[in-house]
Amino acid sequence: MRFLLKCLLLIALCQSTPIKLQAQINAVIPGDFADPSIIKKGNQYYAVGTSSEWAPHFPIFQSANLKNWKQVGYVFDKAPEWTTGSFWAPEYYYHNNTYFIYYSARRKKDNASYIGVATSPYPDRGFKDHGVIIEHSKESIDAFVYNDNGQLYITFKAYGLDGRPIEIMGSKLSADGLKLEGELFTMLKDEKGIGLEGQSFLKKDNYYYMFYSAGNCCGSNCDYNTRIARSKTFKGPYEDYENNPVLKENEDWKCSGHGTFVNTPDHKTYYLYHAYNKQSSVYTGRQGLLAELIWPGTNAWPVFKTETSGTQPANIKDDFKAKMPAVYWQWDFRNSNPVVKQLKGNLHLSGITKEDYLTGIAYTVRPVSTNYEITTTVVNHNDAQKGLVIYGDANAAIGVGTVGNKVEFWMVKDKKRTVLASEGISSAGPVELKLEVQPDFICRVYFKQSQKDWRSLTAAQAPSVNFLPPWDRSPRIGLNFKGSANQEAQFSSFQLINK
């Protein structure tokens, strides 16, 4: 009888308790990596993504299996001369033994976003900029190149069209890939006001298929999704799929969209796209995910059948013993110009910012979680601010650092720098600093000297970092310096541990 009761109890618990049959799908490229474009070279895959206001510009990742990726470089170490910011939506294309990157950026002379092009003999380095290729309407972004029986076409999103809705437009592209030819044509109009962008194309049987994104792309109130339209000619008109959207919010991810396709040696087709993790949301940005595209039959609309899960995000441990800084470091190029050297196991960080930028230099990496700790060791003493930072923008940051004979827990918000807590330290010997962020976005900091235990630097109320994320990108975490031109910070270590 007891055994029977136990069995009945177990059955009741199983019926009343939801069971998650599959673990959460991990991003294949975790952290802020929006608008990804993918290409295959030999037995290697390369992906490039939006960098927005972070330099260097357009990070490039490499993989042998589509699941495990490592960063290998950037398209631009320095911003092209014609640009001022908003480095969005880079698009790979390979033609005539040359790798092309068609990218969106804001132009200096009018602050409008247009499309430029750069080329290289390599997929991961050596790109030479050729300037603006598409200057149309008030804004033109999101380029995609398609070869239709030997004729190259370039497509893009155009808006600000004298009262007309957003349109996906196209043009013939010259054989060298560097200029438009002929008249522009409209392929799809946003008659419903839902937004159109991030288009890519495949041809199957008797149809050209346009995969595009609709909705609000970014921020906590996003409603982005992926849709399909098709036409019997490349130029259109395109008919929307009645079961749109085809990639949308699920249990773990939201706001899925803006991707491109790649074929594998086993004749499968995969879509690399971005989405927000529903737990970490805007704090880790739009991350790179992978889904397989399935064709059910001749002239049948395709479906995204499976999603591929990546490995758990890696921690970072940097002892600065290499000659050059690691490839993952980035900074806000609009508001700072860091000077960085690695010498004898120390990273030397200096540089100045405008007087009203209260945070100083933020030399940062992309977070992949909202539950982590970062640590560093500051080895020099001066009255500059030297330590750790979570950086949202020039006047939105929080951090811990040594300043003279004190260690300070500070916050920059609403153009004001506030010291939340401080404590005296010895002017001799290195100082170790630790900053923790918990899943509820609460931030706590610690310090120690002379091999002693960690001491909490306690604020009256532990602050939240929920004020940090800009609208279109995640905050960054890393090292911080704010001082005069003749000062610097010296660090002997940096570590990021994801919990």
In this structure, of 15-24, 78-87, 317-326, the range with the lowest mean pLDDT score is 15-24
Average pLDDT over residues 317-323: 97
H/E segment holding residue 63: strand 57-63
Please state, rounded to an integer, the average pLDDT across all residues of the chain. 93
Q: Is the pLDDT of residue 7 over 70?
A: no
Query: What is the residue whose two structure tokens read 């279109």?
Result: 472
Contacts of 4 (CB under 8 A, 6+ apart): none
Question: pLDDT value at position 365?
Answer: 98
Peptide bond into 245 cis (omega under 30): yes
Question: pLDDT value at position 376?
Answer: 98
Distances (CA, A) of 444 to 281, 457, 464: 21, 8, 9
Cβ–Cβ contacts within 10 Å for residue 425, how many?
21
Structure tokens at 358: 């209260």
> Residue 475: what residue type?
P
H/E segment holding residue 93: strand 83-95
For the domain made up of 37-308, give the CATH fold.
Tachylectin-2; Chain A (2.115.10)
pLDDT band at 35 (very low <50, low <70, confident <90, very high): very high
Structure tokens at 196: 């159109």
CA distance 224 to 244: 12
Q: Are 210 and 187 in contact (CB under 8 A)?
A: yes
Domain ranges of the chain: 37-308, 316-498
pLDDT tens readout for residues 168-188? 999 999 999 999 999 999 999
DSSP three-state, residue 315: coil
CA distance 168 to 161: 12
Question: What does DSSP assign to residue 345?
Answer: T
The residues pairing with 113 across neighbouring beta strands, listed in sequence order, are 106
Query: What residues act catalytically?
Result: 35, 197
Q: Is the pLDDT of residue 1 over 50?
A: no
Nearest to 431 by CA among 341, 491, 363: 491
Q: Mind giving me the DSSP string for 346-399?
A: EEEEE----TT--S-EEEEE----SSEEEEEEE---SSSEEEEEEEEETTEEEE
pLDDT band at 161 (very low <50, low <70, confident <90, very high): confident
CA distance 282 to 52: 14
Nearest to 389 by CA among 307, 281, 482, 252: 482
Q: Is the pLDDT of residue 11 over 70?
A: no
316-498 in CATH: which number?
Answer: 2.60.120.200
Average pLDDT over residues 304-309: 89
CA distance 331 to 329: 7
CATH fold match for the domains 37-308 and 316-498: no
pLDDT tens readout for residues 387-420? 999 999 989 999 999 999 999 999 999 999 999 9
Cα dihedral 148, 149, 151, 156, rounded to 10, equals: 10
Alpha carbon 86 to its chain centroid, in Å, reads 12
Average pLDDT over residues 197-221: 97
Peptide bond into 237 cis (omega under 30): yes
Alpha carbon 114 to its chain centroid, in Å, reads 20
For 47-71, b/e burial (b = at least 16 CB within 10 A) is bbbbbbbbbbbbbbbbbeebeebeb
DSSP three-state, residue 241: coil
